[in-house]
Chain A
């Protein structure tokens, strides 16, 4: 269905070009949900925008290939691309308040999507809009099509956006944090709706989120992004039951819920910002398992299971054999972990380390967090694995 290979998106910042999406490859099969997980600045939204060629300057697509049903989207002329957007690949935005136009009724906005793509005439667009609102379970759709966005609650607006997204029967829906702005119970309803739409319309779904819980409930496969790169990808069960990248393990282990009232197993340091990603494996300054090669060249992807890959030198049998210490306890799963070396002397004293950052980049300059945290991690190291 969709095959993204070596996608690279660069932002030309005042401080120089910054790679927001760095050599990202993944595929989405027909009828499948891929969960793309990352924190702010990890490049997950830029990846989505790149697929639809909606990246605005100072951002630009710098390389790669995006094959959608056999066509290379990056090679299409803009007029052709416009026919793909909305009609074949639909986008659901994070913020349902701003994604709708406040001066048109929701009926008009759904009808517009249909008319623009030639899926309905002006006359039957209204009937179709009512059907779509019914499909996303908005009660009393005949009356609702005359409502303006401000008359709807957040959850209803998100339903309208889903109705617009499925209006032209796309084969792929890209949903960028579709439930982040919503309350718990509404979030659950919207996720249920997305799952149902996916099933009944046989959609493929690219679900972008920072919430591991949402991913566990919704995705078939998962890709974890950190600082512009996919650091681990695999089937949802493999990712949650046997995570292979220290970042994935750290995220899962830091979630509350193990034992009430216990200290959490936090990941040290802060999320790097665009333009100041650390060299080598971008996670290495925060990684409890880092060793010599991590600060050098970025690790390639290692196969760690069936359709399961991780970009981490721990899985390089040549390199990780050199250091044979036991892991410091970053394992989040009960499944035996590959031998993981213990942290070496803090890399932040290495002058080549992170010093090229902008003033606001604080992993390097904030002496406090990286120094203080490892002690606590170590103190907590005796705790039983989650």
Chain B
């Protein structure tokens, strides 16, 4: 079943400008359309500045899109009133990249996880406490550490706190914006496993935003590649990684460093001048689209 439907999403930022001067318009997200099925992990990859984070935030309206539409369970998110939007956010939550700056250092872990419940006026004090303890357990944190502050946790544990907070309201969609890229490599796998376990257990749908293509290939069902604000290729993971069609996707995949000194290396360099930026996406194989 369709959970999220993004169509012709556009987000422009105005840079510079002032009282007497018009700024320059930058199109961060340029006519982006995709949909996410319930229970699926949809990957959004691209380099910094490609618009993947902006796209994720537009879905939650943490950033207001300039044009286009976002539908969540067939309802138009962009038409929601502030009260209705708050209600809708119960069902879609975000986990941020940096576990060091995304948690309030002055709050205790328990307060951080409990806050969404208070904002949404759910349960009394006792039920909230029970729920927080339950969430701690769910993400693999020790309930004995409820009263600690963020700096007393390691990076991996902080990301677990961020995850517990995002799960507090029982959402169906989680937007994961580079959830493990700030973590040490020996800890990344733990958090990735936790994400996969939680998805099964809670029937979650993930929008997984990342630049680590090895990881995206591992956990996503479908992937969209963004380049300069547009989706240039989109398709089932196997199809996209095994037979990339767009020159940018090919360059991106060939740049992945392989942890095998004997792996064949064939670097494909992108000739930016040869990319037709106006090409429309067309279906080249079942569910596999490329702007060529």
Taking CB atoms, residues of chain A closer than 8 Å to B141 are: 368
Interface set, chain B 243-267, CB cutoff 8 A to A: 251-252, 254-263, 265, 267
Q: Are A254 and B186 in contact (CB under 8 A)?
A: yes
Residues of B within 8 Å of A261, CB to CB, are 196, 218-219
Would B154 and A187 count as touching, CB distance under 8 A? no
- For the A-B complex with A213-B214, A217-B257, A217-B265 known, give 13 more contacts whose Cβ atoms are closer than 8 Å: A40-B184, A184-B255, A211-B257, A213-B256, A237-B261, A240-B259, A240-B260, A256-B219, A261-B219, A264-B189, A360-B154, A366-B142, A372-B140
A270 and B257 within 8 A (CB):
no
- Contact segment of B8-16, B89-97, B144-152, B170-178: B144-152
Tell me the residues in window 161-184 of chain A with beta carbons closer than 8 Å to chain B beta carbons.
183-184
* Complex interface: chain B residues within 8 A of A28 (CB): none
Choose among B157, B186, B255 the residue that contacts A362 (Cβ–Cβ < 8 A).
B157
Q: Are A271 and B261 in contact (CB under 8 A)?
A: no
Q: Does B192 contact A (CB under 8 A)?
A: yes
Within the complex, which residue of A184, A211, A241, A265 is in contact with B189, where a contact is CB–CB below 8 Å? A265
B75 within 8 A of A: no
Contact with B along A303-340 (1 / 0, CB 8 A): 00000000000000000000000000000000000000
Tell me which residues across on chain A come within 8 A of B251, comparing CB atoms: 185
Is B38 part of the contact surface with A, judged by Cβ < 8 Å? no
Identify which of residues 182-229 in chain B touch chain A, using a CB-to-CB cut-off of 8 Å.
184-190, 192-193, 196-197, 211, 213-215, 217-219
Judged by a CB distance under 8 angstroms, whether A192 is at the interface is yes
**Interface residue tally on B, bucketed by range:** 35 or more
Taking CB atoms, residues of chain B closer than 8 Å to A216 are 257-261, 263
| Residues of chain B lying within 8 A (CB to CB) of residue A39 | 184-186
- Please judge, given known A-B contacts A191-B257, A264-B193, whether A367 and B47 are in contact too, CB under 8 Å: no
Given A184-B211, A213-B258; A263-B154 close (CB under 8 Å) = no
- In the bound complex, residues from chain A placing their C-beta under 8 Å from that of B188 are 254
B contacts, CB < 8 Å to A? 47-48, 140-142, 144-145, 151-154, 156-157, 184-190, 192-193, 196-197, 211, 213-215, 217-219, 237-238, 251-252, 254-263, 265, 267, 269-270
Interface residue tally on A, bucketed by range? 35 or more
Could you tell me if A210 and B192 are in contact, using CB atoms closer than 8 angstroms? no
CB of A266 within 8 A of CB of B193, answer: yes
CB distance from A362 to the nearest CB of B (A): 5
- Residues of A254-305 whose CB lies within 8 A of B: 254-257, 260-268, 270-271, 286
Interfacial residues of chain A within 340-371, with CB under 8 A of chain B in the complex: 359-360, 362, 366-369
Chain A residues within 8 Å of B257, by CB: 187-188, 191, 211, 213-214, 216-217
Return the chain A residue nearest B194 by Cβ: A266
> Bound state CA distance, A188 and B47, in angstroms?
13
| Interface check A135, CB cutoff 8 A | no
Shortest CB–CB separation between residue B80 and chain A, in angstroms?
A: 34
The answer to whether A255 and B261 have CB atoms under 8 Å apart is no
Look across to chain B and name the residue whose beta carbon is closest to the beta carbon of A358: B152
- Complex CA–CA separation, A271 to B153 (angstroms): 12
Across the two chains, which residue of chain B brings its CB closest to A361? B154
When chains A and B are docked, how far (Å) is the Cα of A215 from the Cα of B260? 9
* A/B interface sample: 26 pairs, CB < 8 A: A185-B47, A185-B252, A188-B254, A192-B267, A211-B185, A213-B256, A214-B257, A240-B259, A250-B186, A251-B185, A256-B215, A256-B218, A256-B219, A257-B218, A260-B218, A261-B196, A270-B154, A270-B157, A270-B187, A271-B184, A286-B186, A360-B151, A362-B153, A362-B154, A368-B140, A372-B140
CA distance A286 to B251 in the complex (A): 38
- In the bound complex, do residue A368 and residue B142 qualify as a contact, i.e. CB atoms below 8 Å apart? yes
Q: Are B255 and A185 in contact (CB under 8 A)?
A: yes
Q: Is A4 interfacial (CB-CB < 8 Å)?
A: no
**Residues of A contacting B256 in the complex (Cβ-Cβ under 8 angstroms):** 184, 213
A212 contacts partner chain B, Cβ-Cβ < 8 Å: yes
A369–B160 Cα distance when bound, in Å, is 11
Q: Would you call B261 and A270 a contact (CB within 8 A)?
A: no
Give a binary string over A206-224; 1 marks a CB under 8 Å from any B CB, 0 the rest: 0000111111110000000
A52 at the A/B interface (Cβ < 8 Å)? no
**Which residue of chain A is the closest to B193 with respect to CB atoms?**
A263
CB distance from A11 to the nearest CB of B (A): 19
In whole angstroms, how far apart are the Cα atoms of A217 and B266 in the complex?
12
Kindly state the separation between the CA atoms of A176 and B219 in the bound complex, as whole angstroms: 30
A288 CA to B174 CA, complexed, in Å:
33
**Is there contact, CB below 8 Å, between B186 and A267?**
yes
